[in-house]
A and B are shown apart, each in its own frame.
Chain A
Amino acid sequence: MTAFLIRRLAFACVTLFAVLTLVFVLVRIVPGDPAQLILGDQASREAIVALRHRLGLDLSITEQYRVFLVGALKGDWGVSMVTGQPVIAEVLRVLPWTIELTLVSLVLGVAAGVPMGVYAAIHRNRFFDYVARIVSLLGLSFPAFVAAILLLLMFAIVLPWFPVISARSGSPTAWFQSITLPAINLGLISAAYIMRVTRSAMLEVLSEDYVRTARAKGVPWPVIIWRHSLRNALIPIITVVGLYLGILIGNSVLTEIVFNRPGLGKLIIGALNQRDYPMLQGMMVIYTMVVVLVNLITDLTYGLVDPRVKLQ
């Protein structure tokens, strides 16, 4: 187990380094001058040259890379070119919003997707199964931002139950009002994914010999489903949930924008438009770390739900 962790962490470091280098190069290959964008279109060439110097953009690429790596190793991701705030501080300030949204929508997705998937599998090729499959297909193919606008129209304008600006905090009611629509928006898509995977995993398990044996010896049906079958079907479901967490964080970009929530998504779009190099680099590192971490947790969970899986 310890050896496994150490090996995975070493891999994570290599991944991080590769991503860092790639991002460093990529953001600079894209045309666009941060100094020009900060100063605006009326600034003179001289003012822009002066600002480029202050931002260290006039250094050679290799020198910039060296400064960046040395800083990164010391845990210093630099300061945002636009706001002058440390990158880490900016990211940490909005990270809780994104994590909160992602987790709540994932919980919604699991809470809706797993039971529906199980139910659809048990009633394979019956009415509910067809409905569930069609609905989940719709959920997958419907763009998140369209669903978001429809949700707002329905539950903020026609029925004024929730705010359009979903960024309230303070009281539990305010929190609940702010998180509900965005979480449903993201949760619906993950529910669709999880439902489909649960259904197919369950179908496979239900046709196993041990399920037939259990039924033959009179084990109650709910016990067969929830203890014997679902437990064995969990591995693919957990894999999908883990993978999907990464996708969710990415998807949250649009949801955050439409529902006016702060978060990594808005931050990354802003940084991209302004060519805020340090910010982009810092954000990519955070994204990479989150994905690596989620994968690690997913792997560890395998061992928990299925003792046959040994982490070596």
Chain B
Amino acid sequence: MTKGLTLTAVLALAMTATPALAQKTTLNIGMGSADAGKLDPHIASATPDKGLLQYMFNGLVRIKPGQVSPDFIEPDLAESWESNKAATEWTFKLRHGVQCQHDYGEFTSADAVYSLKRASNKATSSYSNDYSGVKDIEALDKYTVKITLKNPIAGFLGYVANVNGGNMVCKKAAEEMGDGFAKKPVGTGPFEFAEYRPQQYVKLVANKKYFRGEPQIKEIMYRYIPADSSRDLAFQSGELDMIYGKQDQTWYDRTAKLPDTKVVAMEPAEMSTLFLNITQKPLDDIRVREAIAYGVDRKGIVAFKGAGSSREAVSVVPSGYLGTDEYAPLFPYDPAKAKELLKEAGYPNGVTVKTIHTTLTGMQTFIEAIQAQLKKVGINLDIELVEHATYHAQIRKDLSPLVHYQAGRFPVADVYLTQFYDSASTIGTPTAVTNFSHCNVADKEIRAARVETDPVKQKELWKTAQEKIIKAVCGVPVYEQLQLWAWHTNLDLGYDLKGSLNLSPPITEKTHFVK
């Protein structure tokens, strides 16, 4: 008995004497892609690249970590800002003493001006369009930047926030490296670039001079793991702390059951819209387009996609954007009405509509569900499946009368309306973006809202634009898919995650592991 007790005591002592496990400071993130793309914040548009670059860069302003709405804009590199009454002249006061990574010196107004000009230049930026309304960018002194606009821009602060073209690069580094900047990006963010191993990972290390304080995470291993199942297994085995999920409900449900795991469906959602080409037969007949709108059951699609990770569309602009009409008059599901309209349009025996569609799994299952729904009202959706890059090329050549497109944008109605419904963005034109339907019914309102300074009038204009587009059935919005992520509960992000415009959970100076 005494012996047993002694042994227990020795064991207990030995256990307490073991040095406490060193606090984990390396964060392993698993991303669903085979490799990095271009690691230049002004060019990167794919989820894997944007998600990584946000750890290295700041904007003049930022949306509070974990939030996606412009309502949460707060100071980043700029301490304060003001605009004139007409909102055409913006002055930003920069923080003093912010250091560029890799010893590229202090970040000053010269860097900010250079960065914004770089983002507006179509030779160096994918986002140059966003800055077409900018007239002049100048440095008033070492810490003051003035931006003059040709006319007021809706949600302008979004373009100088830490997203896309608003990410601030360091002038000296960008000039020195030229095209090589994408191989060693230099910003001012909490983490700096350390190493890139093709097809394996990008390693970032803590920026010790970060102006908000040295990050508690010392190293981020951002691993490229394209196979969903392998990413899940590496997460289960503990090799990864955080993973990009397979974007469907079964993944969500399965992963949520794992021990010590947090699964999140976060904003921004990508909205699935069926764009109907109003210039091509048989969709040039509005009755056929209306029949499609009546024939789509949004509730059914959300039930199919899973309520935890998707929700019904509310308008032709995704929900939650500045200017979205959350109660827009979308067509209700009414199969009888759809059949009647088809008959009226001269198709009593049904009609065939062609669509060229990608083989991306999540999107393909959606269009097959739509096909089944439309079949019930006598619309035969003829789906031609092609691989993703081919799909992108062909839908831009007017080869697909019905285009299913999934997209999220900067959460201001103007961006979505301009890119998808302004006639200037019509595909095939020199200024084309993604107006697949050749919609032109709301140009007046979209353009007026863009330069309207009174927020109430602006919202009114956007509302009218949405109503007109819905009425003309340029697009049938169906559902919104949230972004799925998971991480082990020993990781404390340091903020509440609702979403991230950069499409991955932000890792800030406060993010850390708990024991």
Contact = CB atoms under 8 A, between A and B. Distances in A.
Nearest to B44: A40
Contacts of A153: 233
Interface in B158-187: 179-180, 182-183
B329 to A, nearest CB: 28
Given A32-B389, A42-B126, A164 B45 contact: no
A260 interface: yes
B332 interface: no
A57 interface: no
B396 A36 contact: yes
Interface string A260-279: 10110011011001110000
A50 interface: yes
A151 to B, nearest CB: 10
A40 B45 contact: yes
A16 interface: no
A47 B393 CA distance: 16
A257 B226 contact: yes
Interface in B389-431: 389-390, 392-394, 396, 407, 409, 419, 429-431
B429 A32 contact: no
A82 interface: yes
A266 B43 contact: no
Interface residues of B, number: 54
A57 to B, nearest CB: 12
Interface in B12-60: 34-38, 43-46
Interface secondary structure of B, over-half rule: loop
Given A36-B396, A45-B430, A45-B431, A167 B388 contact: no
Interface string B82-109: 0000000000000000000000000000
Contacts of A39: 43, 45, 126
B227 interface: yes
Q: Which of B128, B237, B389 has the most CB of A within 10 A?
A: B389
A170 interface: no
Interface stretch (B146-154, B196-204, B318-326, B341-349): B196-204
A50 to B, nearest CB: 6
B142 interface: no
Given A38-B43, A50-B122, A257-B226, A83 B393 contact: no
B227 A258 contact: yes
A258 B228 CA distance: 9
Given A41-B434, A83-B38, A258 B229 contact: yes
B129 A42 contact: yes
Interface stretch (A107-115, A128-136, A155-163): A155-163
A31 B429 CA distance: 19
Contact of B393 (A33, A42, A157, A270): A33
A99 B125 CA distance: 38
Given A41-B45, A156-B237, A258-B230, A266 B34 contact: yes
Interface in A15-54: 30-33, 36-47, 50, 54
A260 B234 contact: yes
A183 interface: no
Given A46-B122, A46-B431, A163 B389 contact: no
Nearest to A46: B122
A205 to B, nearest CB: 43
A269 B35 CA distance: 10
A257 to B, nearest CB: 5
Contacts of A165: 223, 225, 230, 234, 239-240
A294 interface: no
A222 interface: no
A260 B432 CA distance: 39
B429 A45 contact: yes
A165 B201 CA distance: 11
Nearest to B405: A41
Contacts of B431: 44-46
27 contacts: A31-B389, A31-B393, A33-B393, A37-B389, A37-B392, A38-B43, A39-B126, A41-B392, A42-B409, A44-B129, A45-B431, A46-B122, A47-B129, A50-B122, A54-B123, A83-B182, A83-B198, A94-B199, A149-B233, A152-B230, A157-B236, A163-B237, A257-B34, A257-B226, A258-B227, A260-B225, A262-B198
Given A46-B430, A262-B200, 13 more contacts: A33-B393, A39-B126, A40-B46, A41-B407, A44-B128, A44-B431, A94-B199, A167-B200, A260-B223, A260-B225, A260-B234, A266-B226, A273-B389
Interface of A: 30-33, 36-47, 50, 54, 82-84, 90, 93-94, 149, 152-153, 156-157, 160, 163-165, 167, 257-260, 262-263, 266-267, 269-270, 273-275
Interface of B: 34-38, 43-46, 122-123, 125-129, 179-180, 182-183, 197-200, 223, 225-227, 229-230, 233-234, 236-237, 239-240, 386-390, 392-394, 396, 407, 409, 419, 429-434
Chain A to chain B: the 5 pairs with minimum beta-carbon distance, closest first: A40-B45, A32-B389, A164-B234, A262-B199, A47-B122
